[in-house]
Amino acid sequence: MRFQSEKLEQLAPLSDDEVVGRVLAGDTGAFELLMRRHNQRLFRTARSVLSNDTDAMDALQEAYIRVYKGLSAFEKRSTLATWMTRIVFNESIRFRSRRARVSRRERLGVQQAAAESQTQLPESGMDGTERMQRFDEAMDALTENERGVVMLRVIHGLSTRETALSLGLSESNVKVSLFRAKPKLAAVLGGDGVGSVRQSLTFDGERCDRLVRSVFIGIEQVHEA
């Protein structure tokens, strides 16, 4: 987590609920702290639904605007992270439906650009492009529920209960989805597939900074409307 101001470092000890309270009291800038805390998890959630990093970034940006506008409606029946994850997951599904209307040529161009943006991973002979191609192939073999469960339960390490709450599933459905997904993943990714995918989906540095800046531009537009 990298803060853009000294003020956010001072707010870092606060809980999510305390940060939400500050945002609702008018401290809009404190919303950055929530984004930086949860960007990794929420990006991976969007990526479980969408076919490339570019689409996942766009969907996540839209979801953050929804989160910001809906903070006053957060009833704390679950953790803030779980509530945000559910919003991101649903927004990603909506985004995918809209993108389905884009021509195949445009989609292939976006996918290629996203693949070329992957960096070389030093501990493996497989570069980022090939790794993500294999990841896409593996995820395509899964159902929508299985993709969400794999991303949250396996890649991000959430508990069965947290995964269920985030995706709107029962805990038994999470377990069944995971049981069915594992052999499909192994068939494409091999034994070390999970670790490889987890590292390829790291979300930090400039991408994180860029997303934060874009969301705040959207928040400014919300206030001007």
Query: What backbone torsions phi and psi does residue 210 show, to the nearest 5 degrees?
Result: -65, -40
Q: Specify the pLDDT at position 96.
A: 84
Least Cα distance to 144 among 168, 116, 121, 113 occurs for 168
The residues, any chain, with a CB within 8 Å of residue 157's CB and separated by 6 or more, are: none
Q: What is the pLDDT of residues 24-43, one digit of tens each?
A: 999 999 999 999 999 989 99
Tokens 């704390």 — which residue?
76
- What does DSSP assign to residue 120? P
Interatomic CA distance for residues 141 and 127, integer angstroms: 22
Residue 1 lies in a domain: no
In total, the chain counts a number of residues equal to: 225
Residue 15 lies in a domain: yes
Q: What is the pLDDT of residues 109-132, one digit of tens each?
A: 555 555 554 443 334 444 556 666
Interatomic CA distance for residues 33 and 21, integer angstroms: 13
Interatomic CA distance for residues 170 and 205, integer angstroms: 35
Least Cα distance to 181 among 218, 138, 217 occurs for 138
pTM above 0.85, yes or no: no
Q: Specify the pLDDT at position 88.
A: 95
Q: What is the pLDDT of residues 73-91, one digit of tens each?
A: 998 888 999 999 999 999 9
Interatomic CA distance for residues 100 and 97, integer angstroms: 5
Residue 172: domain span = 6-224
Tokens 């593996």 — which residue?
138
Domain total in the chain: 1
Residue 212 lies in a domain: yes
Interatomic CA distance for residues 63 and 14, integer angstroms: 23
- Specify the 3-state DSSP secondary structure of 23: helix
* Segments in the chain below pLDDT 70: 1-5, 100-132, 190-201, 204
Q: What is the CATH number of the domain that holds 53?
A: 1.10.1740.10
Interatomic CA distance for residues 110 and 115, integer angstroms: 9
